[in-house]
Every structure is written in structure tokens, then in C-alpha cells.
Amino acid sequence: MSGKKIPEFRISQINSFKESGMSVAAWCKENQMKAPTLRYWLHKIKVEENTESSEDGWVSIALNNPVHTNVPPIVVKVGAFSVEIQPGFDRSTLTEVIATIHELC
């Protein structure tokens, strides 16, 4: 995030919003904040989290018999995770990967 750290009070506000279970409009009204301001900080925190998690690197799963085609892969994004699904994928491996991602999120 271009070297700028998110202020602690904003992180506290975002955590309060997430824990409240309220809609953006309702939480903002109750906490005297404009909805675009809350959405801005939600976006900034999400970008920062994605940047931090991508610094950890990628995890690859090698296929025993990779299939090479000109068909582009399908990319499924869940939170900070991206799964690239190539033609000829193994359904049970994908199921295990998705279950693991679900546990982490």
C-alpha cells in the first residue's frame, strides 16, 4: 500500500463495523460516518491484506499428467486466494483445495 499505514483508529472502526453485523448504511448512521468513507477504508484494508498475503508467495500443485491446450484456465478467487483451474483438472484435488481455503477464510 505505497508505504502508508492505515491509522489504528480506522482499523478499530472497521473491526467494529465487521463485528456489528449491520449494513454499511445502518452502521454509518449510528457511528456518524459517511458511507463512502467506510467503503473507502474497507477497500484500503482489503488491498493491504491482499498485498501482505501475496508477499508470502504462491503454492503450486503439480499434476502427474498435465494437459496442454490453448484453452485459458479458469481463475477462482476467494478472499486473498486465487485458484487457477486448468482443463483436465482433478475434481478430488480441487475439492480438497476448496475445503482448505474454506477453513482458512
Sequence spans of domains, the chain:
8-54, 58-105
Q: What is the pLDDT of residue 50?
A: 66
How confident is the model over 53-80, as a mean pLDDT?
Answer: 67
Q: Render pLDDT for 1-11 as a digit per residue (tens, 0 to 9).
A: 445 677 888 88
Can you tell me whether residue 75 is helix, strand or coil? strand
**More confident call, 53 vs 83:** 83
How many residues belong to the chain? Answer: 105
pLDDT band at 31 (very low <50, low <70, confident <90, very high): very high
Burial per residue of 64-96, b for 16 or more beta-carbon CB atoms within 10 angstroms, e otherwise: eeeeeeeeeeeeeeeebbebeeeeebeeeeeee
Dihedral, CA atoms, 82, 87, 88, 91, nearest 10 degrees? 40
Residue 56 has pLDDT above 60, yes or no: no
- Whether the CB-CB separation of 80 and 94 falls below 8 Å is answered with no
Percentage above 70 pLDDT, the chain:
76
Closest CA to 44 of 77, 6, 3: 6
